[in-house]
Amino acid sequence: MELLSELVIESESKIVFLIADGLGGLPQPGKLEKTELESAHKPNLDALAQGSICGMSEPIGPGITPGSGPAHLSLFGYDPIKYQIGRGALSAAGVGLEQGQHDVAARINFATIDNNGVVRDRRAGRLPTEKTRELCSLLEGIKLPGAEIIVRAEKEHRGVVLFRGEGLSDKLTDSDPQKEGLPILEVKATEPQAARTASLVNRFIRESISLLKSQAPANTILLRGFASYPDLPQFDKLYKLKSAAIAAYPMYKGIARLLGMKVLDGCETIKDEFELLKANFRNHDFFFVHFKKTDSAGEDGDFERKVKAIEELDGYIPQLVDLKPDVIVVTGDHSTPSVLKSHSWHPVPFLMYSKFCRHDDVSTFSESACSKGLLGVFPAVNIMPLVLANGLRLKKFGA
Amino acid sequence: MELLSELVIESESKIVFLIADGLGGLPQPGKLEKTELESAHKPNLDALAQGSICGMSEPIGPGITPGSGPAHLSLFGYDPIKYQIGRGALSAAGVGLEQGQHDVAARINFATIDNNGVVRDRRAGRLPTEKTRELCSLLEGIKLPGAEIIVRAEKEHRGVVLFRGEGLSDKLTDSDPQKEGLPILEVKATEPQAARTASLVNRFIRESISLLKSQAPANTILLRGFASYPDLPQFDKLYKLKSAAIAAYPMYKGIARLLGMKVLDGCETIKDEFELLKANFRNHDFFFVHFKKTDSAGEDGDFERKVKAIEELDGYIPQLVDLKPDVIVVTGDHSTPSVLKSHSWHPVPFLMYSKFCRHDDVSTFSESACSKGLLGVFPAVNIMPLVLANGLRLKKFGA
């Protein structure tokens, strides 16, 4: 990354990253031997693949299933092992909360517990965002000694809480048991200095449960990813780019903001996203366009809906191509096979179009076709150098 | 490895590693362009490959020929450069010798020298194990000043010697010239503190030769792999597995023991090994099953015998598949091409079956087919993360 930064030069070239979240998949057991992407009718992506160089991008390493944070850091050329961002900090940035150096943020899931305190639904039936907003205001009324509480809604059942005060620590375990059928966990300090924060947080959880008693299915909160503000090298400075992030979901705006990207607001749908892209195409030279539906459908185990999401995305490809960017990348941050209902470790189909990409003979955009592409299976952190080179934005190394 | 260990979770899934020692091969010069594996009739392995993801596993790195120790360490996810075990320590563990922190072990080959002290057969015609036992007792009678001598037989011409005493060092060169037609080498200290041990060992060798004078073809010993006891992270703890090692040869039991695996005793043949696997399948979740004949035939330069060994192994694959493990790996620890009569640097055919492996279109299990598999040529240390992921034994990295 330091080498890259030394070689970067300015240029007029335009780069677009179209990231279909959780794009990679697996076949349905007992059905045709086709993944979601292989089942989709996607003539535009296939045509784009034909002029591109293809491969399978590996977000972290063999066998490692990434969260959204590390998966996106890799895409943007940041070593995801070296630069670790807690979910809390991601979420805070995503909703536009200014996190201070000493504030500790955590991700909230509104969830359902039964009378024995056992988690029955980690997402409270995917609570409507409006209701989540209302409950967040309720929780913001909780008073803790020596810490201010700020609570904000994200999408659906998701929220974020910021603990603001002196001497707080993020060295805490989650209260979210990560699986249904298990009780909420006590938050524990993983180093002695965090003991006071742990006790504050546990008190916040108890008071939240008491306030939410009558709010079933959202009768509890689960906290995870306690995180102080991460200090990351800034994307635009690192790569001499004028970047713009276009994402409907707060989390992805969040990561863009942590990297210092300009976040273009005002989009809810993929249609909005492409309108924003077109409207701002002159004013930036790097665009991160994030498409969420592929991941949501995968997480819900809905193979057909994921197929449809891919087909919907395919419909927008001509608008992208018409803008004539110098470099186009289409890939995912990770795989989310419907059959696993979760992120997975599988490498992700990748294509990069540019005039100078030395395209391979991949003629469809799919896991099996991209596996035979010229890039093979390669680490996602290699994408940025490839993209900058194809945008003629890297000078020669050495004399 | 640290990252992996942090991500590991418990699960009910069952994993079987079937390791055909020295599996990879080369074509016979002047014959059909087929390796041993490509020449074998192995319908069961081919069928297994069809539902698997395949590739070529590289034990250490390009061009590097591994010994059995590092080759197995790689398979089990240990960086073989960082964790080096001398052959002596491996052999000692293999025969069940308790090696202390300061004991120095070395591997013995009973061998044949001519009147000029030149090695004519490094294996003394593959001496019967019974005879080796007798000669080991003979050598154990040697008395050295300041060191106790313990000598044990392994299989055939192989044995192990333990030098037990204060202030001994394993920083010694081998006496084994590794090739026939060369004289036995003087053991030398590679650091000054080892000088006394070197002189003790050379005295042991001289007295052994004198005791073995009338025992041709076993009229000398060759020593290699001087080693103190290695301190390795323990496999079961590292990966949250309950492992079992099934191996007929002491060396492979040895490495399993050094890693803290439970060694299931009582097998001499591949038939016994599969009986043990079936009998213990309920009680463990990771099985290392070691098949030696492929390597022995390769070492002897016997192409046809290696083909037959592979065919024999193939006959047992249905028994393995019938157990319905969640993850099956079939590979070798390294290549042993008959034409080279020794271990080699060539990558090793690899298959991994699991429900979630995203299988490729490899339809036969061979060097040429696996080279076109989705995993490509990949480092053997990546096998464990892949296997744990496919056994759904790794949680997500980051938020």
C-alpha B171: how far from chain center? 22
What whole-number distance in Å separates Cα of residue A363 and Cα of residue A47? 7
Which pLDDT value is given to residue A94? 80
B399 at A interface, C-beta within 8 A: yes
pLDDT tens for residues B8-67?
999 999 999 999 999 999 999 888 899 999 999 999 999 999 999 999 999 999 999 999
Contacts of A368 in chain B (CB under 8 A): 360-361
Instruction: Please say if the pLDDT value at position B91 is more than 90.
Output: no
The predicted model gives A21-41 an average pLDDT of 94
Give every CB contact of residue A217 below 8 A, 6+ residues apart in sequence. A112, A121, A124, A125, A127
pLDDT > 80? residue B134 = yes
Q: Could B394 and A345 be called an inter-chain contact, meaning their C-beta atoms sit closer than 8 Å? A: yes
**pLDDT class for A2, splitting at 50, 70, 90?**
confident
Per-residue pLDDT reduced to its tens digit, B247-296: 998 889 989 989 999 999 999 999 999 999 999 999 999 999 999 999 99
Residue pair B23/B367 in contact (Cβ under 8 Å)? The answer is no
User: For residue range B164-191, what is the model confidence (pLDDT) as tens digits?
Assistant: 999 999 999 999 999 999 999 999 999 9
Q: What is the mean pLDDT of residues A76-101?
A: 89
| A342–B396 C-beta distance less than 8 A | yes
Q: What pLDDT band is residue A346 in, cutting at 50, 70 and 90?
A: very high
B260 to chain A nearest CA, in Å? 24
**Rounded mean pLDDT of A320-333?**
98
Interface test with B, best of A33, A54, A57, A65 (most B CBs within 10 A): A65
Q: Which amino acid is at A292?
A: K
pTM of the model: 0.85
For chain A, say whether B9 makes contact (Cβ under 8 Å): no
d(CA B399, CA A86): 6
Q: Can you list the alpha helix ranges (DSSP code H) found in A95-194? A: 129-140
| Confidence band of A91 (pLDDT split at 50, 70, 90) | confident
Distances (CA, A) of B34 to A236, B27, B293: 54, 5, 19
Please report residues of A whose CB lies closer than 8 A to that of B356: 26, 337, 339-340, 344
Q: Take residue B95 and report the two structure tokens written for it.
A: 């025969």
Asked if A354 and A391 touch (Cβ cutoff 8 Å), the reply is yes
Instruction: Give the model's pLDDT for residue A172.
Output: 96
* Distance of residue B295 Cα from the nearest chain A Cα, in angstroms: 28
Output the furthest CA–CA distance in chain A (Å, rounded). 71
Whether residue A49 contacts residue A365, with contact meaning beta carbons closer than 8 Å, is answered with yes
Per-residue model confidence as pLDDT tens digits over A36-76: 999 999 999 999 999 999 999 999 999 999 998 999 999 99
pLDDT tens track for A66-80? 998 999 999 999 999
Mean confidence (pLDDT) of chain A: 95
What is the predicted pLDDT for the residue at A47?
A: 98
pLDDT at A134: 96
Residue with tokens 């041990």: B197
B397–A339 CB contact, under 8 Å: no
Q: How far is B326 from chain A (nearest CA, A)?
A: 15
Distance CA B291, CA B309 (A): 9
Chain B interface includes A109 (CB < 8 A):
no
Query: pLDDT tens-digit profile of A190-204?
Result: 999 999 999 999 999
Q: How far apart are CA B3 and CA B6, in angstroms?
A: 5
Cβ contact, residue pair A65, B356, below 8 Å: no
Model confidence over A220-279: pLDDT tens digits?
Answer: 999 999 999 888 999 999 999 999 999 998 889 989 999 999 999 999 999 999 999 999
Instruction: Tell me the average pLDDT across A314-333.
Output: 98
Model confidence at B101, in pLDDT bands (50, 70, 90)? confident
What is the number of CB-based contacts under 8 A between chain A and chain B? 84
Tokens of B278: 């079936």
Give the distance from residue B389's alpha carbon to the nearest chain A alpha carbon, in angstroms. 5
Give pLDDT tens digits for B330-375.
999 999 999 999 999 999 999 999 999 999 999 999 999 999 999 9
Distance from CA of A392 to the nearest CA of B (A): 30
Both tokens of A317, joined, read 């490809």
Residues of A in contact with B384 (CB under 8 A): 63
Q: How far is CA B185 from CA B147, B215, B216, B342, in A?
A: 22, 21, 19, 20
pLDDT at B399 over 80: no
Asked whether A30 and A301 are in contact (CB, 8 A), the reply is no
Q: Is A81 on the interface with B (CB under 8 A)?
A: yes
Q: What pLDDT was estimated at residue A212? A: 97
A197-220 residues labelled b (16+ CB within 10 A) or e (exposed): bbebbbebbebbeebbeebebbbb
Say if the Cβ atoms of B389 and A343 lie within 8 Å: no
B396–A60 CB contact, under 8 Å: no
Banded model confidence at residue B128, pLDDT cuts 50, 70, 90: very high
Q: For A178-207, what is the mean pLDDT?
A: 95
Assess A107–B contact: CB distance below 8 Å, yes or no: yes
What local confidence, expressed as pLDDT, does residue A247 receive?
96
Complex confidence, ipTM: 0.84
CA A325 to chain CA mean position, Å: 23
Residue B251 is predicted with a pLDDT of: 85
pLDDT band at B244 (very low <50, low <70, confident <90, very high): very high
Q: Tell me, what's the pLDDT at B179?
A: 92
- Give the pLDDT confidence score for residue A102 in this predicted structure: 82
Per-residue pLDDT reduced to its tens digit, A98-120: 888 889 999 999 999 999 999 99
Strands A220-227 vs A104-113: parallel, antiparallel or unpaired: antiparallel
Helical packing angle, A87-94 and A250-258, nearest 10°: 100
Q: Which residues in chain A touch residue B398, judged by CB atoms under 8 angstroms apart?
A: 66-67, 69-71, 80, 84-85, 87
Q: Nearest Cα to B66, choosing from B352, B347, B378?
A: B347
Q: What is the pLDDT of residue A81?
A: 94
Residue B386 burial class via C-beta count within 10 angstroms: exposed 0-12, middle 13-18, buried 19 and up: buried
Rounded to 5 degrees, φ, ψ at B351 are: -135, 145
Cα dist from A336 to A68, A128, A269, A340, B354, whole Å: 11, 23, 20, 7, 17
CB pair distance less than 8 Å for A377 and B382: no
The rounded distance, in Å, linking the Cα atoms of B39 and B166 is 53
Q: What pLDDT score does B189 carry?
A: 97
- The yes-or-no verdict on residue B152 having pLDDT over 90 is yes
Of A68, A339, A371, the CB nearest to B399: A68
Min Cα–Cα distance to chain A from B363, Å: 15
Q: What is the DSSP string of B46-69?
A: HHHHHTEEEEEEESSSTTPPPPHH
CB contact under 8 A, A377 and B376: yes
* Tokens standing for residue B322: 């019938």
Residue A87 and residue B399: Cβ atoms within 8 Å? Answer: yes
Question: What are the tens digits of pLDDT across the range A134-174?
Answer: 999 999 999 999 899 999 999 899 999 999 999 999 999 99
For chain B, give percent helix, strand, coil, nearest 5: 35, 20, 45
Supply the mean pLDDT for chain B: 95
What is the spatial distance between Cα B199 and Cα B193, in angstroms, rounded to a whole number?
A: 12
B391 contact A CB<8A: no
DSSP reduced 3-state for A262 = strand
**In chain A, pLDDT over 90 holds for what percent of residues?**
89
Amino acid at residue number B72: H
Distance (Å, whole) CA A246 – CA A255: 12
